[in-house]
Amino acid sequence: MNLLDELTTDRGRVIGFGRVKFPKMPKIDFDLEVPLLSFVVIEAEYGREYVATCIHLQMDGYGISRERAVDDMISNIWSFLYRNFKNKEHRNEAWDRLYELSKSNPRTSNLWDKYHALQYHFAKKGEPDHYTELVEKINSLKNRVRELEETIDDIVDGIDNRDWRILDGIRDSVVVQYKRVERDGIAAA
């Protein structure tokens, strides 16, 4: 397998993959157990722009760095989830939308192929998935949400913005797993 060929897309080269988790947040009426969502990070030609794509929801984030692209993707996912699940009367339809988005199509099949190429690349190098670490990060994220929910006021300046304040407080913990392939690792594979 030529990893460089396997990681090339029409948007650039996949340089990493990971998972994000949005935990239950009862204080803001987000009392749902959304599954882990997988993503890839693509470096556009010449490394001037990055795209982070959530494969399950087919949502992108853009930035001049990997971190900014992932952060933008997280904001877009959160906005989508919160908007769709905010009204409890329409939650069945929201779950149906998530399911429809997660169905395979040519774009997601291609991204899943890249994701799996990286999984096998790291496995071949003897690097495990670290499931114990993943569970610890998810539990830590849930604890952080509970702490924030206890301290954040319901209304600030007349606007209920608890959802974004909690997201800002957990943003650095939402990415529960990320692996980046090194440039020299691609050439050697």
Q: Which of residues 183 and 176 earns the better pLDDT score? A: 176
User: What pLDDT is attached to residue 69?
Assistant: 96
From CA 34, how far away is CA 154, in angstroms rounded? 23
Q: What is the reported pLDDT for 187?
A: 45
Calculate the alpha carbon distances from 33 to 25, 37, 62, 114, 187 in Å.
Answer: 9, 12, 26, 27, 40
111 is in which domain, residue-wise?
3-188
What does the DSSP assignment read for 90-129? Answer: GHHHHHHHHHHHHS--HHHHHHHHHHHHHHHHHHHTT---
Question: Does 123 have pLDDT greater than 80?
Answer: yes
Contact call for residues 56 and 80 (beta carbons, < 8 A): no
| Averaged confidence pLDDT in the chain | 85
Burial class (CB in 10 A: 0-12, 13-18, 19+), 56: buried
- Please tell me the predicted confidence (pLDDT) of residue 80: 92
Does residue 161 have a pLDDT over 70? no
- For residue 188, what are its two tokens? 């050697």
Report the b/e string of 100-129 with b at 16+ CB within 10 A: ebeeeeeebeebeebbebbeebbeeeeeee
The pLDDT, as a whole number, for residue 167 is 77
Q: Is the pLDDT of residue 156 over 70?
A: no
pLDDT cut 90: percent of the chain above it: 42
pLDDT of residue 189: 45
Residue 184 has pLDDT above 80, yes or no: no
pLDDT tens digits for range 83-111: 898 888 999 999 999 999 999 999 999 99
What integer pLDDT is reported at residue 188 of this predicted model?
44
Number of domains composing the chain:
1
Least confidently predicted of 12-21, 39-48, 89-98:
39-48
Helices (H), 21-105: 66-85, 91-102
